[in-house]
A and B are shown apart, each in its own frame.
Chain A
Amino acid sequence: MTHSRFDTRLGLGITLAVTAFLIGPVLLSVTAGLTQNYFVGLKSGLTFQWVVQVWDLYADTIWRSYGVALATLAVTTVIGVPAAWVLTLFPGRLSRLLEELLTLPVAVPGLATALALIVSWGSTGWLRSSVAFIVVGHVLFTLPFMIRAVRASMQGAELVVLDEAAATLGASRRQRFFDIIVPAAKSGIVTGALTVVTLSIGEFNLTWLLHTPLTKTLPVGLANSYASMRLEVASAYTLVFLLMLLPLMVGLQWLATRTHRTGSLALGASS
């Protein structure tokens, strides 16, 4: 099918407009973080002092966010991959019901989930005041994304037959899981990991209620700085956030594309 020049230009124009709409505000915010005085504008001069100030005040929230995201990733992987396999092995009404239940925390407002967590666990002193509490909330919210992504890759690969083949060769359930299932679901696991880390680092709703002054994460710190500091500082915070997040995102995306490519080749072989 051929496209006319007009179609191509129109498509390009719309794409650029949408991109500008999405990125424009971010760019403005970043600029604000680098200007001496945002209300005076760029002619007031450029400076790194706000960035330095953010780093001094909030570096701990950044590292904490990374820690929380990695811990969330570890837990969702350890729970999510076997869970996805069990759901794939026994596809019935009960499986579908379980999957719907797992998705519930995504549909329910984060604040409600956080309240439920506080009501049930808030009186457990050490947990309420530790970062682990935030990790629990993030796991609840991100687990369905991991399970969905891994299940999708498991369903496409005729994994049940591969599992049966390994069983007849003498492999135990555990051996089959690690030797056959995990490698075959690799692309789904990487996709799930990308989603989990992204969601966890940016998560605000749940964290806002779950955090204590000593367990602030990056988005909570950002809200804090918007509420209590100069606009320039809050904007510089956005810049730091992007600088920390972008390499991680690009790296994970690259890994996902790479695994998808080799993964799909391998899957083609089993069909």
Chain B
Amino acid sequence: MTAPLATDPLSITLTHCAKTWPDGTRALAPLDLEVRPGETLALLGPSGCGKTTLLRLICGLERADAGATIHFGEQAVTDVAPESRGVGVVFQGYALFPNMSVAENVGYGLKIRGVAAAARRDRVREMLALVELEALADRRIDQLSGGQRQRVALARAIAIQPRVLLLDEPLTALDARLRQQLRVDLAKLLRRLGITCVIVTHDQEEAMMLGDRVAVMSAGRLEQLGEPETLYRAPASPFVADFLGTLCRLEGAVVRRHLGVDTLAFRPHEIAIVAPGEGLPATVQARFFLGSQVRLELALEDGQRFTALVASNAPWQPDARVGVRMADAAPAALEEVASC
């Protein structure tokens, strides 16, 4: 009988987790966070925001400041060494062992656990089939492409049937096209495994696609935690709004005169371009054809600049005078953000 792909999912509960480096730098302000059983949580933020530190606290490679507790399900793991935590980790550069073949890398965790050779071989084969690399079992690591290495790292992490799976920027090292493809594969695989997973990324699209929920972090703090759609439509702070896609902001007398509000915040696809005389008067400064859309760079009469993404058959050319208003489907929520 084949072993299940993963064990029953556990929750990860962090209470009052903070991290201060020996030189006194605060990497992480005290935070509470719960990752639900079977959920994929994406930690999103710019580099240096503490997201990787948080991941390393969960897998035990860093120790949190005194007073913190970490639980996997009911079990307290705060003082448990990384080798006993039962976590599967995919590292940013993959950290594959150069002195071992693909199969040996995937089977290393099982060998350490004393799994018999025959059972180990079966499990390795199963894992390699899962990431579609059966044919490369005997290859050396330096004979693999970036995408293949990423999949070996994933297979190695899953092979030990970890209690939780942690991925540190798993797709960053790859080129854009491959990243798109592997992102889809990874999303499918995570859903199939049903394992509790934390994924660190600085790419908002990746976070929204892979995460059931997304935790946006900035300067060692948790800015907002929620489902991708909530974060996008109702960001709790200008930082979150700005980080999850472009946010344009217009204010001043012109806006007040034409729209009756002090400020207007919107995403480039949320405005409609209409005939001059309607809405807010603006001038097209530049036009970029992007295939499915056209990107217009516009300016108000007082010089404020903003961007609009409109249908690719939009006729406006540079120097055209147009009117701008919020598209009918645009949510009103963003206006509130602008005032915070």
Contact = CB atoms under 8 A, between A and B. Distances in A.
Interface of A: 157-158, 161-162, 164-172, 175, 179-180, 183-184, 265-271
B127 to A, nearest CB: 13
B93 interface: yes
Given A167-B83, A168-B61, A265-B142, A162 B95 contact: yes
A162 B99 CA distance: 11
Contacts of B83: 167-172
A170 B87 CA distance: 9
Given A164-B61, A164-B82, A265-B142, A170 B113 contact: yes
A168 B97 contact: no
Interface in B211-268: none
Given A167-B82, A170-B84, A161 B95 contact: yes
Given A171-B83, A183-B99, A184-B98, A158 B93 contact: yes
Given A158-B93, A167-B61, A169-B160, A269 B141 contact: yes
B99 A266 contact: yes
A170 B160 contact: yes
Contacts of B140: 266, 269
A175 B156 CA distance: 17
Given A168-B89, A171-B83, A270-B141, A162 B97 contact: yes
A267 B113 CA distance: 27
A172 B89 CA distance: 16
B72 interface: no
Nearest to A186: B99
Chain A at the B interface: SS class = helix
B156 A270 contact: no
A268 B142 contact: yes
Interface string B84-116: 111111010101111100000000110011000
Interface in B46-91: 59-61, 81-89, 91
Interface of B: 59-61, 81-89, 91, 93, 95-99, 108-109, 112-113, 140-142, 144, 156-157, 160
A87 to B, nearest CB: 18
Contacts of B99: 180, 183-184, 266
12 contacts: A158-B93, A162-B98, A164-B61, A165-B95, A167-B82, A169-B83, A170-B86, A170-B160, A172-B83, A184-B97, A184-B98, A266-B99
B108 A270 contact: no
Contacts of B109: 169-171
A268 B141 CA distance: 9
A171 to B, nearest CB: 5
Contacts of B108: 166, 169, 171, 179
Given A167-B61, A171-B83, A271 B88 contact: no
A271 B93 contact: yes
Contact of B95 (A164, A175, A265, A268): A164
Contact of B112 (A169, A184, A269): A169
Given A165-B96, A167-B81, 16 more contacts: A164-B91, A164-B95, A165-B89, A165-B95, A166-B97, A167-B82, A168-B85, A168-B89, A169-B112, A171-B83, A179-B97, A180-B99, A183-B99, A266-B141, A269-B96, A269-B142
Contacts of A265: 142
Given A184-B98, A265-B142, A270-B141, A168 B88 contact: yes
Contacts of B112: 169-171, 175
A159 to B, nearest CB: 10
Contacts of A170: 83-84, 86, 109, 112-113, 160
Nearest to A171: B112
Contacts of B93: 158, 161, 270-271
B89 to A, nearest CB: 4
- Chain B CB within 10 Å — which of A161, A168, A175, A265 has the most? A168
A270 B96 contact: yes
A266 B98 contact: yes
Nearest to A169: B109
Contacts of A269: 96, 98, 140-142, 144
Nearest to A173: B83
B275 to A, nearest CB: 57
B7 to A, nearest CB: 14
Contacts of B144: 269
A220 B105 CA distance: 51
Contacts of B96: 165, 269-270
A168 B141 contact: no
Contacts of B142: 265-266, 268-269
A269 B95 CA distance: 9
Given A168-B87, A168-B89, A171-B83, A270 B160 contact: no
A189 to B, nearest CB: 13
Contacts of A171: 83, 108-109, 112
Nearest to B153: A165
B156 A267 contact: no
A158 B112 CA distance: 22
Given A269-B140, A269-B142, A180 B82 contact: no
A2 to B, nearest CB: 34
A161 B96 CA distance: 9
